Amino acid sequence: MEGTTTVLAGPHEVEQREYQIPDPVAGGLLIGMIRANVCGSDVHFLGGDHPLVKVGSVLGHEGVGRVERLGAGVTRDFAGNELSEGDRVVATYFQLCRHCPECDAGRGNLCRNALPAGTLDADHPPHFHGTFGTHMAVGPEQYVYKVPDRVSSKAVSTANCALSQAYAGCDLGEIQRGQKVVVLGAGGLGVCATAIASQIGAEVFVAEMAPSRLAKVAEFGAHHTIDLSEADGGAGRVELMRETTGGGADVLIDFTGVPDAFSEGVRSVRPGGIMVSIGSVMPNRFTQFDPGLFTRSGVQIRASIRYHGSVLGKSVSFVESTPQYPWESLVDADFALADVSDALRATVDRKVTRAGIVIDER
């Protein structure tokens, strides 16, 4: 039997291809996709400016599926829950090699041989490397977690990228109860980080250049919003963040992907605080940076890329334990699988924040 997957055919061009549905490998799974989402990084993939994504790569890394077949030896998920065919699951979008110095040091998020979904060639078996398709082949080195019955597929569909990236960033920032946390950028990851920091008991400030995005964070536990469009240039934005937080953030997490937001973010942290960089992932984009001022501030800058696989399990539990947050609303428009290119275009044109792709919601 054949299934469909979505492939980058050229810059800003996708096509859907049919391939024979593979058998699950030993220790892995074959899942039937339920839903997928267009994440911010898919936009970079589409433009061809991601260092690992080539024409011919299978697209899609965020989503949720259903176990169609268990590979040999698989009886449980990574948290020890029994796993059967038909169970809903989420999986990390990357596979670790477990044979490199970073994996050996327990820093799987930095695995130098990781195979992230979105970077693998469609013609290379098992073909179904991404979430924008009828199926996805999950390898033995991908962390898999069962989705609890009371969590909807739509609510959990952002867990394996947006929520887990945000979770890892909050962990790296060592956010404590009572701290002043600035979330810079109110896209999907910023909204998720707002909820996490708020649940830890931090005082959460969300700063954003597009004030229309600030309404959403109030629903996810933000205590204050900072409309950066009112500030006068970079110095004004720093001043506004420092003033609103009463001297600077204890922890600031930059989700924007804008190089100047990185340097402004560092200057908006109180002396000795922590700045976490997540949003800037594309190389060869630059910003002015004042090392002398930085050294004098004692601020620590930390880089958060991907996440440790076990963070996905914590994310699923977090969605389950916080029904007060409207998780489903992170996906603000739905498209059919055949219309992936429309979903991508709507995202590029900023007509939707996070486009959902409904594949099989039976």
Nearer to Zn ion, 41 or 179 (CB): 41
- Answer for which of 21, 46, 111, 159 binds Zn ion (CB under 5 A) is 111
Round to whole Å and give the CA distance between 187 and 263.
Answer: 19
Nearer to Zn ion, 103 or 231 (CB): 103
Stretch that binds Zn ion, among 35-43, 115-123, 239-247, 353-361 (CB under 5 A): 35-43
Stretch that binds Zn ion, among 45-53, 155-163, 178-186, 313-321 (CB under 5 A): 155-163
* DSSP bridge partners of 100: none
Stretch that binds Zn ion, among 31-39, 218-226, 228-236, 253-261 (CB under 5 A): 31-39
Nearer to Zn ion, 248 or 356 (CB): 356
| x/- map, 43-82, Zn ion, by CB under 5 A | ----------------------------------------
100 counts as binding Zn ion under rule CB under 5 A: yes
Three-state SS annotation for 152-172? CHHHHCCHHHHHHHHHHHHHH
Q: Is 334 exposed, middle or buried (0-12, 13-18, 19+ CB in 10 A)?
A: middle
Q: E strands along 38-121, which residues?
A: 62-70, 88-91
Residues in the interface with Zn ion (CB under 5 A) total 8
Round to whole Å and give the CA distance between 3 and 122.
Answer: 12
- Answer for which of 43, 97, 209, 301 binds Zn ion (CB under 5 A) is 97
Answer yes or no: are the C-beta atoms of 77 and 129 closer than 8 Å: no
161 counts as binding Zn ion under rule CB under 5 A: yes
285 alpha-carbon distance from chain centroid: 21
Q: E strands along 220-268, which residues?
A: 224-227, 249-254
Stretch that binds Zn ion, among 160-168, 215-223, 252-260, 325-333 (CB under 5 A): 160-168
Q: E strands along the chain, which residues?
A: 2-10, 13-20, 29-37, 62-70, 88-91, 135-138, 144-146, 180-184, 203-208, 224-227, 249-254, 269-277, 300-303, 333-336, 355-358
- Answer for which of 4, 6, 41, 142 binds Zn ion (CB under 5 A) is 41
39 counts as binding Zn ion under rule CB under 5 A: yes
Nearer to Zn ion, 100 or 301 (CB): 100
Applying CB under 5 A, the residues found at the interface with Zn ion are 39, 41, 97, 100, 103, 111, 113, 161
